[in-house]
Structure formats: C-alpha cells, structure tokens
Amino acid sequence: MSYLDPALFSDDAIPPETRTLNEGIIAATANMADWWAVGAQKVRDARERGEGVFPAPAKSDRARWIEIDGPSGKIKLRVIAPEKSRGVYLHIHGGGHVLGAADQQDRLLEHFADTARLTAISVEYRLAPEHPFPAGPDDCEAAALWVSDHLRDFGGDRLAIGGESAGAHLAALTILRLRDKHGRAPFHAANLVFGVFDLGLTPSARAFGNERLVLRTLDILKFGEAFLPGLDAEQKRAPHLSPLYADLRGLCPALFTIGTRDALLDDSLFMHTRWVAAGNAAELAIYPGACHGFIAFPCPQTFQSLQQQAAFLNATLGG
C-alpha cells in the first residue's frame, strides 16, 4: 500500500478558496513581463514596491540588520527576535536564486519568532545572474557557520534552518556543506518549503508546461541558466548542486511542504523519500491544488501550512 493517499491528488480535494486563488494568479500574470526580458533588477525593484502578483512586503518595526564577514565582503542578516528566544531559525528566502530579498518576508519571520520562540535570521545572499554559483551557497554557508558559532548570543541552544523554493534548495546545500566541509551537524530541524532539489528538473518540473501559475517549466529553466550558466541537465545533477543526488545520511529531521499544482511537486516527493531512506526522520505535508509559493497569499491553506511548520519546529526542537 502506498504511504501517499491518492485522494490528496484528486480534483475533488482542492478547496474552493484555493481554486479561486489559482484562477486569480493566472489572470493577474497573463501579460506579466519575464524577468530575463526586462532585467532581473527591474523585477526586484518592482517586487520591493509591491508590484506584481505577490503581496507587497510589509516591513516589521521589530527587525534589525546585522553584518558579518563573508567570502566576498559583508553579508547582511535580517533579525527578528521573540520576547524570549530559545535559539535561531536561520531562514533563506526564495526567488529562483535571482529574485527576492531578506527583508521581503518580515511577517513570515515574525511568525516563526513568535510561534517557535526562535530568533529568525534571514540571509541577504548574493543573487544570480550577477553572482552565479557558488556565490549564494557560499554566503549561506558563511552565515550558518557564524550563527552556529554565536548561537547562545541569541538566547538559546537550538538551531533550525529553512526556506522556500530556491531558499529550501540553499538550506539543503547548507546542511550538506557544514557536514561535508566542516564536520558539523549543528541543525536540529529543517523546514523545506516547495523546494527545488533537482536542478536538472524532475518529471513534474519538465511536464508542468506553460500554465502561468507562479512557476512554469520555462521559469525553472531560465532560473537554472542564471544560477548555473553553461551547464547541461546532467551536469546540474551533480550532488554538490542538486541535493536530491547527495549522500543524505546523518541529517536532521525535516518537514517537506508542497502543493499538488506546483511544478516542483516531484522535488519534495522524491527528496522526502530519499531523506527517510537515508535513515533520517522526515514529514511530508501535501496541500491539494496549492501552487508554487502559496504561503505568500492569504488563504486557508496558507494558515494551515504555517501552523503545521511551527508545530513541526516545536515538536522537533522540544523545550
């Protein structure tokens, strides 16, 4: 018997609010310019102004910036602390390794700070295409090493890591880099939300097509070209690039979150299975009909997912 419930993948399982949200996203993005056509910085600036399909980023008056030394200069970290912290949630934002910023999800950082009692720290890593691999992963690695060395400065001894989309990919790479390059296993939990784990494209990523529901097959290909210029699909599957193919033994418990109308569905299904097969604890949360990036939009599945992510962190970290 399959451990997956087929009912999760049925059209009948999709909540009406999710259908409405998906239809609205498709309509809103029908004539949207592609970032590679107008330039990545122009799209980044538009997102900062709240233009486009994603809600305008609300800034928190609780947030502060700190700077640490990185491999090519200073790395900025966005910090939001709870009233009493028991450790750190190291967050890595999404955006295809090309878009996004550490200060564009303050409400999400507040959520984890308050519900998991962790100081939420988001990494302002370098972006492609101006800074292709290994710039972004190098910055995330440096941030993780610094945070693990200064963990008690933030009020506790527990360390979790997480991110969305490309951020989940970078979080997985960071876990592996600290183990393989530094002999460290500082993380107690990983919260990996609609991540990309095979940069050569899983079957669902290849088959998704051109439906403009946040992330199309073409978008994945263009992001991959910016992040890993000049590499073909098989080269992109090298274990140090695509964590789906890495040695996953000895890693922390993880929660994988994915929607069934996400081009990256197989990435989470496959990665969850490999994580468990390697002897690690893992949970898989599947949201019927949810699209890529769904937790950025106010809908019942968003609130359910955010509660589940916090519950996972609390149950795994204990205390």
The domain locations on the chain are 10-317
| Third-level CATH fold of 10-317 | Rossmann fold (3.40.50)
Its sign, for the CA torsion 201, 204, 210, 216, is: negative
Segment-wise mean pLDDT, segments of 10 residues, the chain, 319 residues:
80 96 95 95 93 87 97 96 97 98 97 98 98 98 98 96 98 98 97 98 97 96 98 98 98 98 98 98 98 96 98 93
DSSP string, 163-187: EETHHHHHHHHHHHHHHHHH-----
In the prediction, which pLDDT does 54 show? 85
Give the span between the Cα atoms of 15 and 280, in whole angstroms.
Answer: 32
pLDDT in tens, 172-190: 999 999 999 999 999 999 9
pLDDT value of position 1: 36
* Strand-strand pairing, 87-92 and 73-80: unpaired
Which of 286, 309, 291, 312 minimizes the C-alpha distance to 2? 286
Q: Distance (Å, rounded) from C-alpha 126 to C-alpha 166?
A: 13
Residues with active-site annotation: 165, 262, 292
- Reduced to 3 states, what is the DSSP secondary structure of residue 126? coil
pLDDT for the residue 14: 97
**What pLDDT shows up at residue 53?**
81
Listed in sequence order, the DSSP H helices in 59-125 are 106-116
Length of the chain: 319
The whole-number pLDDT of residue 76 equals 98
In angstroms, rounded to a whole number, what is the distance separating the alpha carbons of residues 288 and 274?
22
Structure confidence at residue 52 (pLDDT): 80
What pTM was estimated for this model as a whole? 0.97
Q: Which amino acid is at 163?
A: G
Q: At what angle do helices 16-28 and 300-317 cross, to 10 degrees?
A: 110
